[in-house]
Structure 1
Amino acid sequence: MKTLTTLITAATLALGANLAMARDLGPDEALKLRDAGTIQSFEKLNEAALAKHPGATIDDTELEEEYGRHIYQVELRDDKGVEWDVELDAKTGEVLKDHQDD
């Protein structure tokens, strides 16, 4: 029983650590990163996301820091009403994920 308790505790701590590795960045912090040249302009990042789905519109955006990397998340709706989630490396503009929203 002691071994099981230890395993459960270790798993809980590991999960909590993983959740703490991603954090949302507020507008002020995002603007500071942009102004410092740490991340690309939001216009360029939005253009990169929209290039994946021509004719789509942006519903929402969010900047997160995950494992020391800045990730720009864009929610799009294409001209057929399909929702897409696009994640970009905010420093390089590289598309990391592009999938249909569930």
Structure 2
Amino acid sequence: MNKFTALFAVAALTATAGLAQARDLGPDEALKLRDAGTIQSFEKLNAAAIAKHPGATVKETELEEQHGRYIYQVELRDAQGVEWDLELDATNGQILKDYQDK
């Protein structure tokens, strides 16, 4: 195997390993985490996201586990019709990412 092929193989494995680190959590598992107090209530997390974009409405939400951390993803549409994607730490409501959906 030449150096280029070996480098490509390592890069592909690294990218694949990174993808395997995130997993979607189903509703049952999400509710168990909420009920156990591991993550905040979905109402609190939604309110934290809307506070960044007052007057926005929640379009879609998803809970993932990434590298041992619970991430709550929220899609919002603001009063002007602009769509926003936010990621929050589901354990404390801290906003990790906030960007306009394009």
Q: TM-score, normalised by structure 2?
A: 0.96
Equivalent residue runs for 1:2-17 within 5 Å = 2-17=2-17
Determine the structure 1 residue equivalent to 2:73: 73
Task: Name the count of aligned residue pairs.
Answer: 102
Partner Cα distance (1:4, 1:86) in 2: 38
Determine the structure 2 residue equivalent to 1:89: 89
Partner Cα distance (1:22, 1:11) in 2: 18
Determine the structure 1 residue equivalent to 2:22: 22
CA apart distance, 1:6: 1.1
Determine the structure 1 residue equivalent to 2:58: 58
Report Cα offsets for 1:31-58 as digits up to 9, x if no partner. Answer: 1111111100000000000101111100
Partner Cα distance (1:5, 1:99) in 2: 36
Report Cα offsets for 1:47-83 as digits up to 9, x if no partner. Answer: 0001011111000000011110000010000010000
Determine the structure 2 residue equivalent to 1:46: 46
- Structure 1 stretches of 4+ moved >2 Å: none
Please, what is the CA RMSD of the aligned residues? 0.8
CA apart distance, 1:86: 1.1
In structure 2, stretches of 5+ residues that fail to align are none
In structure 1, stretches of 5+ residues that fail to align are none
Equivalent position SS for 2:91: coil
Equivalent position SS for 1:31: helix
Determine the structure 1 residue equivalent to 2:36: 36
Equivalent position SS for 1:76: strand
